[in-house]
Amino acid sequence: MTLPARVKLVEVGPRDGLQNEQAIVPTAIKVELIERLAEAGLSAIEATSFVSPQWVPQMADNAEVLRALLAKPQRRPQPSYPVLTPNLKGFDAAVEAGAQEVAIFAAASETFSRKNINCSIAESLKRFAAVVDAASALELKVRGYVSCVVACPYEGAIDPAKGAWVAKRLLDMGCYEISLGDTIGAGTPASVKRMIEACAAVVPIEKLAGHYHDTYGMAIANIYASLELGMAVFDSSIAGLGGCPYAAGASGNVASEDVVYLLQGLGIECGVDMEKLLVASQFIAHFLGRQPASKVARALLARQSAR
Ligand code: HMG
Ligand code: MG
């Protein structure tokens, strides 16, 4: 089995991670974290979300974060800073703050859709179509998410055909990439492979990404299984930060440090400098007053301090 020679990582810690922290992280800390992640070589960093501050107060400073990032001296190459936009209100606010790329987020579970964005899957797809149309008029890229592709915190196991159906709708709408969310991290290599096979039957595998939470410690195994199927884009979160406010008990995304270690060990290019990634990991862990959730980060940092 040939694994991909190169993988793209989409860093989601500043959004998926920090949306789930009890404490509100100051804007300046978010901006510095994102800068350090860019310094480590991450080329796509999900910066924030333009959702309701009543629903997710942790992201209420969305416009300030994006504006501050875009005001920094441009890097070569400049990373992309996609932001979540659930509707036209969020899209308009994101564009006003300078967004160049947005992400829409649907679900394969009806109950999760209602809990997360307060509408049915069908209604959400109508809202997202309006966002994609508005984005394409401005020539902005749109990434799509499908949550609960393996399991839902309310409905249990999800039929892979449901996730595939939603993924195809997002592709047809105009999303350039569809990220498949194991929102509660319940998948194993077998269930994740079944889910990807269903999705890849209707969406080219090059346009699919894996977004795996690590609640059961299976995320790295699931990434390896996905690589075996030819998937080459993965979402990950610095220090393993994260969860979803509407999926109780879901822990963070797979840690970026763990994914980079896996890829380096497999000889797969991802353009990320581990030493610099550890600097970003330590920075946010120190601010939050705890160790990174990543075992790789803890092991490498312990080795560094023993030197
Ligand atoms: P709603 O209450 O149904 O919205 O919320 P509404 O249209 O009825 O409006 C109610 C009020 O919200 C109005 O204000 C609107 O203006 C305002 P009022 O008139 O009462 O003062 N409003 C907004 N304000 C700011 N930004 C907006 C916006 N839209 C309406 N965009 C809504 C619907 C989608 C807004 C709400 O349910 C929401 O914000 N949900 C949060 C969803 C969220 O952020 N979830 C976490 C991210 S998804 C995730 O983590 C999964 C993922 O990682 C993949 C995976 O792991 O599976 C992506
Ligand atoms: Mg997530």
- Quick one: what percent of the chain has pLDDT higher than 70? 98
- Quick one: what percent of the chain has pLDDT higher than 90? 92
Place of tokens 């959004």: 15
Burial class (CB in 10 A: 0-12, 13-18, 19+), 114: middle
pLDDT at 121: 98
Distance 215 CA to ligand 2 centre (A): 11
| Mutational pocket test of ligand 1: of 52, 142, 180, 215, the residue with most ligand atoms within 8 Å of the beta carbon | 52
Which H or E run contains 33? helix 27-39
Distance of alpha carbon 268 from alpha carbon 229, whole angstroms: 15
Using DSSP, how many helices (H) and how many strands (E) does the chain show? 11, 11
Task: For residue 45, give the nearest of 235, 274, 223 by alpha carbon.
Answer: 235
Q: Is the CB of 112 under 6 A from ligand 1?
A: no
Distance 213 CA to ligand 2 centre (A): 7
Task: For residue 94, give the nearest of 45, 125, 131 by alpha carbon.
Answer: 131
pLDDT (tens digit, 9 = 90+) per residue, 198-248?
Answer: 999 999 999 999 999 999 999 999 999 999 999 999 999 999 998 666 767
* Phi, psi of 298, rounded to the nearest 5 degrees: -65, -40
| Mutational pocket test of ligand 1: of 51, 58, 61, 109, the residue with most ligand atoms within 8 Å of the beta carbon | 51
Contacts of 133 (CB under 8 A, 6+ apart): none
Distance 76 CA to ligand 1 centre (A): 34
pLDDT (tens digit, 9 = 90+) per residue, 23-56?
Answer: 889 999 999 999 999 999 999 999 999 999 999 9
The number of the ligand nearest the C-alpha atom of 46 reads: 1
Distance of alpha carbon 213 from alpha carbon 216, whole angstroms: 8
Please check whether the domain covering 8-306 is classified as CATH 3.20.20.70.
Answer: yes
- pLDDT-derived band at 22, boundaries 50, 70, 90: confident
pLDDT averaged over every residue in the chain:
96
Distance 28 CA to ligand 1 centre (A): 24
Distance of alpha carbon 260 from alpha carbon 280, whole angstroms: 14
Cβ–Cβ < 8 Å for 254, 214: yes
CA distances to 83, 129, 131, 193 from 95, rounded to whole Å, are 10, 17, 11, 36
The number of the ligand nearest the C-alpha atom of 103 reads: 1
Task: Please state the atom number of ligand 1 nearest to the C-alpha of residue 116.
Answer: 42
